[in-house]
Amino acid sequence: MEIFQPNQPIVTAKPARPVFLTVLCILTFIGSGWGIISGITSYLSANVTSHIARAAMQDAKEKIEDEANTGSKFAEKILSGTSEMLQPENLKKSALFSIIASVFTLLGGVLMFGLKKAGFYSYVLGTAIGIAGPFIAFGGGNFITILSSSFIAFIGFFFVILYGLNVKHLR
């Protein structure tokens, strides 16, 4: 039997972080870190990317015009919508939204790693910014915008649900 001494410090046990939450946070650190690096790279290379992509798109348009088949109308529609996306200022806006979204999800992962509930809300906000970003940067009528935003939404909602299962461990 242990006797409590008045000068003895009281040690309180920190709640243990579940392994599943730890794994989710590590995956978030990797994904968000990659998103920040990728966003910075995209922002800095927007002018070069725009020039190269426009040249490739012009070649593709010429090939489509040479071939008169049924799929060419669909391809022309995709390429015409893509030309608006390839403006350097739109690529830079998209990169900034990606960076901002990744910073919020990274902050959320760090806070949830420390068992803070505010991290969950930061992660949800970052996911929402990531979903809305392509629509704001490129407009909503573009097939590629819808496709990329849908992919971000799928991954984001998946992680929000998985984190939601662990909210009970956060304070």
Structure tokens at 140: 């909503």
Residue ranges of domains in the chain: 27-169
* Contact criterion met (CB below 8 Å) for 90 and 133: no
**pLDDT, tens digit, 9 for 90 and up, residues 98-127:** 999 999 999 999 999 999 999 999 999 999
Q: What does the pLDDT read at residue 167?
A: 96
Q: What does the pLDDT read at residue 106?
A: 98
Residues 83-106, mean pLDDT to the nearest whole number: 93
Least confident of 62-66, 72-76, 104-108, 122-126: 72-76
Residue 72's pLDDT band (cuts 50, 70, 90): low
DSSP letters spanning 77-134: HHHHHHHHHTSHHHHHHHHHHHHHHHHHHHHHHHHHHTT-THHHHHHHHHHHHHHHHH
Predicted structure pTM score: 0.82
Rounded to whole angstroms, the Cα distance separating 143 from 44 reads 25
* Contact criterion met (CB below 8 Å) for 84 and 139: yes
Instruction: Give φ, ψ of 114 to 5 degrees.
Output: -90, 15
Looking at every residue in the chain, the average pLDDT score rounds to: 87
